[in-house]
Structure formats: structure tokens, C-alpha cells
Amino acid sequence: TKPYKVAAFYSISNCQPGLKGVHLGNFLIKQVAEALKLEFPEIRQFCTLSPIPGFLRWLLANEPFSRDALTEKAWLRLEDRRRQVLARAQSLSAASDFARLAQDETLRLSIVSLAAAFLSKVSSSSRQADPVARFHLHNGARLERINDQADLSVKGLKQSLGVMVNYLYDLSTIEENHDRFLRGETACSKSVADLINR
């Protein structure tokens, strides 16, 4: 058999009502990663495949992008892409309509660029922040990759136009990324940063 190189977390949830507000996710991820490294030492990457439940709600709210940390050119390009997607998204109601929008090749780059911009601006204090993104970024993960057409279920389409994200847990940089997040910075890969500026 081939050696395992990647371990992906798909669902991390607190299913016990009595534990509401108790932050076990960070502990759980680190414990599982350490246990997997012991059993499968060839594993090099730990990542998630995560939803973006706040993305479409944020997009439809049509709040302007902050110009902070964006060049004028990147800001104008993102605003133009948002207008293109909004022009189509605001009139949608049926899941099949959302599916057509998510699979529209002419809007594909716009959708993933907007998702990257949305997630890269998540902060620990923002009320608009996506809760899943805030959870992983606060735990020290890095925003690694945006995946379009990854969740074409009705729920996935209506929450995020089918987009999902990979957060990378590099055990050697978790503390540094956590500290950066508390300072208002989001650790993200070059490919995600390029989506915002492309």
C-alpha cells in the first residue's frame, strides 16, 4: 500500500449541549494530529475540507470591501466581480438556479476570488466573520485553498455557492498563526493571496 501523506478533517462539531461554549476543537485537532503522526509517521499535512456558511449571506449584504491591505486595482476588480455575481445571485431562489450560477464558467474566478477576499478578512472581533473560518484561524490554521463546486448540495449552494475551503494545520506554525489572528492578520497561502490580487 502507498504511504499516507495527508490527513483531512471533514467535520468537527460539538454535539453535546452541555459543552456549548467550551472550546474543545483546538484541543481535539491537535490531539488527533499528534495521534495520527504516531500511527502514520509519513503523514506530512493535516488539513480540513470546510464549508463557508457565511459567504453568500455576506455577498448578498453587498457591504463594500475595506480598502485596507488592498491595492486600488485589486479593490476595483473585486468590487466589479461582486457586482457581476450579485447581478445573478439576487434573483435566485431554487437550488437549481444556485447550481447553475456555481457552475457558470464565466463567473468561476469571480466567485473564488470573492470567497478568498471574504475569508482573508475574517477577524476575531468581526460580527460578519464566518464562524467556521473564525474557528480554524483562531486555532492557528492557515487559509490554504479555495475549492469551487466542492459542495453542490442544496445547503452548500445556498450558503456558499458550492465553495469550500481547505485550512492547513502545520503543527510548527499553529502558535504563530494564532498570534497573528489575534493581531488581526489572517495566515493564508500564496495561492489564496493571488486569487485576491488576480
Residue 178 annotated to the active site: no
Torsion of CA 50, 29, 176, 45, to 10 degrees: -70
> Which of these is catalytic: 110, 113, 120, 136?
136
- Residue 103, judged by CB atoms within 10 A of its CB (0-12, 13-18, 19+), counts as middle
> Which of these is catalytic: 50, 113, 120, 160?
50
9 backbone dihedrals φ, ψ, rounded to 5° = -90, 130
Torsion of CA 88, 57, 126, 130, to 10 degrees: -110
Residue 125 annotated to the active site: no
Residue 6: beta bridge partners?
A: 45
> What CA–CA distance (Å, rounded) separates 107 from 36?
39
**DSSP secondary structure letters along 43-70:** --EEEE-EE-TTHHHHHHHTPPPP-TT-
Q: Which amino acids are annotated catalytic?
A: 50, 136
